[in-house]
Amino acid sequence: MDKAIEVRNLKRVYRRLREPPFVAVDNMNFDVYEGEIFGLLGPNGAGKTTVIKILSTLLYPTEGFVRVGGFDVYRDVESIRSIINLVTGGEVAGYGILTVKESLWMFSQFYGIETKEALRRIEKYLKIVDMWDSRDTFLNKLSTGMVQRINLVRGLITDPKILFLDEPTLGLDVEGGRIVREIIKTWIGEREGRTVLLTTHYMAEADELCDRIAIINRGKLVACDTPENLKASISQDKYFEITVPYSKDLREEFLTNINGKVSIRDFPENGESLISLSLGEDKEIANFITILTQRGLEIKTFRKVEPTLEDVFIKLVGRKFEDEEAR
Ligand SMILES: Nc1ncnc2c1ncn2[C@@H]1O[C@H](COP(=O)(O)OP(=O)(O)OP(=O)(O)O)[C@@H](O)[C@H]1O
Ligand SMILES: [Mg+2]
């Protein structure tokens, strides 16, 4: 697979007034392949925006080697800018005195797209994001969710090879976030050779949307893999939760006949017991179910508990994701 982005030994230091220099990105290495949705996942201040600014030629690296679409971010700024676009979540989509359509047309002209073609793309993507009916609305009359969708369209109409999205669902409600993620997936699947690099601090979003994720923390890359591999990497054990009718006399049998760890919590007020199992292999669960059935115990609920990216972060970084802000 061709590399869309190459990052080697990337370092970025911010010089500050009356304070020591701050290392926002420290010796980072990763590749993004053509056709991928690649996510930079990290808490506030991790360095995500700094990386995306470097990749989109808004900021020079302090050290390291970075190539975007095969071009060097120091020497080939113009070439990179012609094949990318950048959309930042929460930014203003243009000028309030312009309508949605006028604003998008204006941005298309910055990229030298012929008007007829620009209008064709504007119509196409406004329809995809369900905003065609709002095409003549002034930008300052739009809701946050609408602004975010228009921002995204602005990124799509220039038909970039590589699209950078900095927090594309920032501030959106559940439905708004879902729509934006759907658009990103549709766009990448529409034609071969398109690549998306996005940043997010929403774990579930990275999990659902990204082919691969780089988890970053305090300027350092702590892991880079598919969401599945990241989750599988933290534990070989398989977790299950089963609720059964409350019964006091089963424990001994559970604890002795099962090849794995079993813990039971009773909720007599609900008439239920919750059994948590940690098993070496998925198939071990069959033995357990057999014991329950032989005893005539009804299984009220059954759930396989998958690790989340939050668990991955805790395991790799040693603390919870939200705690990171205060450093
Ligand atoms: N111009 C600057 N001068 C000094 N420090 C900066 C500058 N820009 C960013 N920083 C610092 O660098 C660190 C990384 O910032 P960055 O914006 O890249 O993080 P982020 O991961 O995008 O965070 P967020 O989730 O809040 O957007 C932060 O601690 C920030 O305070
Ligand atoms: Mg940021």
Q: Give the residue range(s) of CATH 3.40.50.300 domains in the chain.
A: 3-233
Range among 10-14, 151-155, 200-204 rated most confident: 10-14
- Is it true that domain 236-305 has CATH number 3.30.43.10? no
Q: Distance from the CA of 314 to the center of ligand 1, in angstroms?
A: 22
Q: What tens digit of pLDDT does each residue of 198-219 get?
A: 999 999 999 999 999 999 999 9
For ligand 1, what atom is nearest to the CA of residue 42?
21
Closest CA to 198 of 180, 218, 219: 180
The residue whose C-alpha atom lies closest to atom 3 belonging to ligand 1 is 14
Pairwise pLDDT comparison (102 vs 144), residue with the higher score: 102
Query: In the predicted model, is pLDDT for residue 75 greater than 50?
Result: yes
CB 104 within 8 A of CB 152: no
47 lines ligand 1 (CB under 6 A): yes
CB 55 within 8 A of CB 73: yes
The whole-angstrom distance between residue 99's C-alpha and the CA centroid of its chain comes to: 31
Query: In the predicted model, is pLDDT for residue 297 greater than 80?
Result: yes
Q: Give the residue range(s) of CATH 3.30.70.260 domains in the chain.
A: 236-305
Q: What tens digit of pLDDT does each residue of 247-258 get?
A: 776 666 666 667
CB 44 within 8 A of CB 121: no
Select from 3.30.565.10, 3.40.50.300, 3.30.1330.10, 1.10.3080.10 the CATH code of 3-233.
3.40.50.300
For ligand 1, what atom is nearest to the CA of residue 52?
18
The residue whose C-alpha atom lies closest to atom 12 belonging to ligand 1 is 24
Averaged pLDDT, 182-199? 94
pLDDT range class, residue 262, cuts 50, 70, 90: confident
Q: What is the mean pLDDT of the chain?
A: 90
- The per-residue b/e assignment along 217-228, b for 16 or more CB within 10 angstroms, e otherwise, is bbbbbbbbeebe
Q: Is 257 helix (H, G, I), strand (E, B) or coil?
A: helix
